[in-house]
Structure 1
Amino acid sequence: MKNIYTIFSLQNRLKQMLARLPIVFLLFAVFATTTFEARAQSGLCDPATPFFVVDLSASPGGTWVSPSVIRNDNCCGTSSPDRCIEFEITLNASTVAINFNIASGAVPPGSMFYQINCGPPVAVGTPICISGPGPHTLTFCKPGNNTNTYSITAIPEPDASPPVIASNTCPTGIWVQGLVAGTITWSDITSGTGLYNSYLSCTNCSNPIVTPVPGHPAFVDYQVCGTVDAGACSGDLFFCDTVRVNMFDPLVASVNPNPASFCEGDAGVQLTGSSTGGFGTINYTWFNSSWTQLGAGANYFATAAGTYYFVVTDDMNGTCPGDTVVVVVTEHSSPLITIDPGTAGVCDGTPVTLTASGANTYVWSPITNLSPTTGSVVVATPSTTTTYTVTGTDVFGCTGTQSVLITIFPLPPVDAGPDQEICLGESAQLQGSGAWIYNWTPTATLNNPDIANPIATPLVTTTYYLTGLAPGNNVIFNGDFEAGNVGFTTDYFYSSNLMPEGYYYITNNPNNTHPNFANCQDHTPAPGTQMMVVNGAPVPNQDVWCQNVAVSPNTMYAFSTWVTSVHPTNPAVLQFSINSVLLGAPFTATTTTCDWNQFYEVWNSGASTTAQICIVNQNVIRSGNDFALDDISFAPICSNIDSVTVVVNPNPNISITPANPAICQGESATLTASSDVPGTTFLWSNGATTASIVVNPASTTTYSVTGTANGCTGSASVNVTVYPNPVLSLISSATAICNGGSASITVSSSIP
């Protein structure tokens, strides 16, 4: 066995490649380097003998075929009718014999011989041993003038491939030379069973291709044997050798992530390359879409979107293909996050549902008074004005943020007043305050539940609940016009000269705009000074003032304005409008100039998150209609609740015992007062404060007592009858009698 090498020289690889080239290509290559001379060159032939220079030095084995030619003249001492042809041959150092044949054309009859350097004749088609690369002169002579082509075949010394490397994506040829075709056999001697013969494209040819399959061993040794083509020249009639085929897995590259992306604002994305398989040293190179090299190494940080190529090669580069991975890098824009509503103003304690969109996942902050803290829909119940921020992440991992300001309007300082106590049958006036609109419950014992101070006449102790409503913070910008002519729209024209109808001006005095207008102050002259003065046009539903505002869904709002006439004729008739829908009834300014009056309507936002609020003209009379607006307000109505208890104390029921006392003159009687209310105090008509008193009237007398319990009183009275004592008188029939005598005595009373 010849030596087996793991790594072989470039010369040997070229040798293999040449051995795998089609024979026609070799012939063409040899033919292309062949020189034809029209006259003899060696001096062994006559001058007219055709002469060819044949170079077979590139390979120890190969065949050269001449162009069509007619033999002529003589060589090596021949004579007519022989006609000859001459070839000057240069051979490879490993060539041991050559063989000469007629390749095409009519074959001359009879025996045919060729000679080397005019040596012994050798039958055409029989190899002749050659020593050294030459040049050697081959001559062929035969009668006739046939047109023929001739082949000269170099026969190498028996030899086989050096060690080679192969994979299933990079098949490699192995070869044997110098053996007789048909006698060549290749056998796997590694498996012991011939298993790996299946890797060979053929087992009886001189140039099989080795194609490993997955699961191959690290190497396979193939034994090649056959009959030596020029055994007489090499000294061996039979030849065997072993060729080792080192095997490796195909080079497979990968990139993670692929495809790759990074987000707007990020520096880029890390591309991590790797590979499996391959042979020897693995090399990594990165290119852009123009195949400009960007870097070497397995990893690359892509800072721009585009197409990148990750090329992986090994020590087989140039012979076996490497692997290339196409990586598309995309730069994703940050997701556009929106929050509905975009802003909100609510009363303290009112929850606000916030809905985010534009991403896949959401995280909110701050988490205070927020439930839940993740997800597209959260409910916020802040106790103070708070800005909530949501960070949304899309499917690419890119983030965007959006914020929403929730303004908290304080609740009105509703006060239902102090608790009160009354006696049954009395009334109490409730003392509500701190609101704009009042509503009391329960209503049955109130004279009016919708005022601040209703009169309550409960029969039993009752707790009354006061729900007070008042506008929160004004959401209108420049509703007092102190910022000038900004923040609103109107169908009227702006001018300091309000002589024409349909014009307005922002000023501190209506008289500055029209000589017939009154000198009026701002509605709130300290600190305000500015107002909107209007010379109204007789066009119904024409916008005098409009502004777009954000609103919270399902919230009550109060829309109000202060109005005064600046000329008494035909005062303004105005109406509120929201989202082009008229609200409430028209309202009319007084005829008194500079008499500011407030008008308002209440509106529920429903599902709306924005509103166009307007004050429109409804006066269709051309003359007059001159007015001023100030302190326009649009505010959520906040409510608060307070309670008051009216304690109803019962009036005590008083009784006196005995009920009908009678005494004789000079006697006394005890009177005792009692009450059904414990703790009752008593005051008798005689000034006594005890429950029982002793009386001795001289005549029949009425006594009364008042009982007091928890501030409530009851009374009772009783008559004490006084009977006079009777006066007796005696009348005797005699004033003196004798012993044994008698007298008549008569008694009489003053009381019948």
Structure 2
Amino acid sequence: MNVPDSSVVAVLTPSGSIDICGVDSVLLTANAGFASYQWQFDGIDIPGATSNTLYATSVGSYTFIGTTSCCGAADTSAPAIIDIFALPVADAGLGGTECDLDFTFSAVASLGTGAWSLFSGPGTAIFGDTISPTDSVSVSQYGTYVFQWAETNSACADSDTVTVTFNEQPIADAGSGGVACDSSFVLNAFATAGNGTWSQLSGPPAGVTSYSNANSATSVATVSVYGTYVYQWLEVNGICSDSDTVALTYYELPVADAGLGSIECDLDFTLNAAPSVGSGSWSQVLGAGTTVFADSTSPTSGITVSGPGTYVYRWTEVNGLCSAFSDVTVVFSALIVDAGPDTSVSLGNSVILNGQGGLSYQWTPDPSLNDLNIANPTASPLTTVTYVLTATDGSGCLGIDSVRVVVLEDFNFVVSNVMTPNGDAYNDTWYIDNIDFYSECTVSIYNRYGYLLYTKTGYTNDWDGTSGGRVLPDGTYYYIIDCPGKTDVFKGGITILRN
């Protein structure tokens, strides 16, 4: 600075090193107190630049020379060194939504150098190369992040931000399908991220599915028509989505009804199941013998068993992979009744019949039986007869057999050899057992001298030890029984004892 004769000092405002960011000029001002001014650029006068201000428009060194009005003294200011830098225009590019934890930036570089930084977000970020406008970044957790791209050109800087939302990518799993023995099925998707929705992709004609909650992974799906359906489980998390499908076959569950059982009094029966859906078949599940089915697939199959007893039969219906069964009990009671062997009995005598095979009995005809409702009644027939036995078992089944009893007219007399006609009403008359069945026979009584004391044809056990109204004395007398057509003569002695 040269001030030979002036106390006025040239001062430039601003001065020194001046960086200009993205403007066309900077206003330089000289201090007052000078009569005239001359601006210089890089030491060379700028033509016409003689006011106390100057707009600097180029990069370089600016000074001014101030001259006083007295004595022509002058002073030169310290220079203002102007550097004009272009102002960066930061462009962070496009943000967006990611279906993972990674993102590649797309900043547009302008001037100077740039750098990426995390401005905000729920987690931390790792950059691959922060000064690259197309750097890649990885974040620690899902959410919305704001990243800043800052560019610096000397003292000039600019920045821009970009917003990136990181969403978890759903991995849809529709679960397992299979077979439903019903018109409803509990779906079993595995929910991962975002919101899920069920929809029907295919099914039988007119088949429609209703959901208890279409957005629930375990929704209950109910169909209007049985058949095979394909469902889609779609998960959406922001713009991220994934889907999976599952196939289900709905079968109507059979309602097996084996019908009514029975108590059969033979070895045959006709089953009576009520078919529902699918195909059915019979099987024997219990019984002492074996069973022959006329048609095991027919609900009304006839059956024949090998022996009596209690049998259980199962009617099983199968529809696809769905099945149901019902059991029915049939009791076969082939009652075997035995009335006993044929026999004979002397006229006037009795025989005990021997029925067996049942729990209750009924004999016919009844006039000559002492009890019609027992197994072994006493029969006293007068003529040859066939007795019919009807027996009933515990199941109510009947069985019939018969026995023939031949009545023998063999004159099987049983003659009493003592009588005591003393008026005590005991043994007061002479008794001949069975004589009343032979009315054609003649009974005669003689004393020991052969004198006829009594005779009667058709004796009725009424001789009281008298003869012609006279009481015979105690002693032994003799009888003869003479029957027409019988060559044998029945004779013997009888003793009268009154005391």
The two structures have a TM-score, normalised by structure 2, of 0.41
The two structures have a TM-score, normalised by structure 1, of 0.30
